[in-house]
């Protein structure tokens, strides 16, 4: 089976930085995705990593270490609209995404 772990909840202050960790143990690895999901809405794509290293996209960055089975999503200059659930998903093979349970981030003023 696939095992993907991420913290359940995190709280941070507006303007701060938050790092959401994701560790995985999967039968294969064809890439790691991060999605953002606001309550009751569809997940939206944030980032994709398949090689080790850091991918930066505006205020959001995602890091991958394949040897450690580890990724993180870094959210900088937090805004109230960043309050959402962040889903880590691994593609163990070509067709399937396996999701972690998600991390709920609450941004406080």
Partner 1 sequence: DGGITQSPKYLFRKEGQNVTLSCEQNLNHDAMYWYRQDPGQGLRLIYYSQIVNDFQKGDIAEGYSVSREKKESFPLTVTSAQKNPTAFYLCASSDGTSSSYEQYFGPGTRLTVT
- For 41, residues 6+ apart whose C-beta sits below 8 A from its C-beta are none
Burial label, 98 (beta-carbon count in 10 A; 0-12, 13-18, 19+): middle
Query: Of residues 58, 67, 81, 95, which one binds partner 1 by CB under 8 A?
Result: 95
Spatial distance between the Cα atoms of 33 and 98, rounded to a whole number of angstroms: 10
State the Rg of the chain over Cα: 13
Q: Is 48 helix (H, G, I), strand (E, B) or coil?
A: strand
Q: Is residue 53 a contact point for partner 1 (CB under 8 A)?
A: no
CB of 48 to partner 1, least distance (A): 6
Q: Kindly tell me which residue out of 22, 67, 87, 107 binds partner 1, with binding defined by CB under 8 A.
A: 87
Q: Is 69 in the site for partner 1 (CB under 8 A)?
A: no
Single residue of 30, 66, 74, 83 touching partner 1 by CB under 8 A = 30
Work out whether 24 is an interface residue with partner 1 (CB under 8 A). Answer: no
Complex with partner 1: residue 17 or 101, whichever CB lies closer: 101
């Amino acid at each position: 089976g696939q095992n993907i772990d991420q913290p359940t909840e995190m709280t941070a202050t507006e303007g701060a930085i938050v790092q959401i960790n994701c560790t995985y143990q999967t039968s294969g690895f064809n890439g790691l995705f991060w999605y953002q999901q606001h309550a009751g809405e569809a997940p939206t794509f944030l980032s994709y990593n398949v090689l080790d290293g850091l991918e930066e996209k505006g205020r959001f960055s995602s890091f991958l270490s394949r040897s450690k089975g580890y990724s993180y999503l870094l959210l900088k200059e937090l805004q109230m609209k960043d309050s959402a659930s962040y889903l880590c998903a691994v593609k163990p093979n070509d067709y399937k995404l396996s999701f972690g349970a998600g991390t709920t981030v609450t941004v406080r003023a």
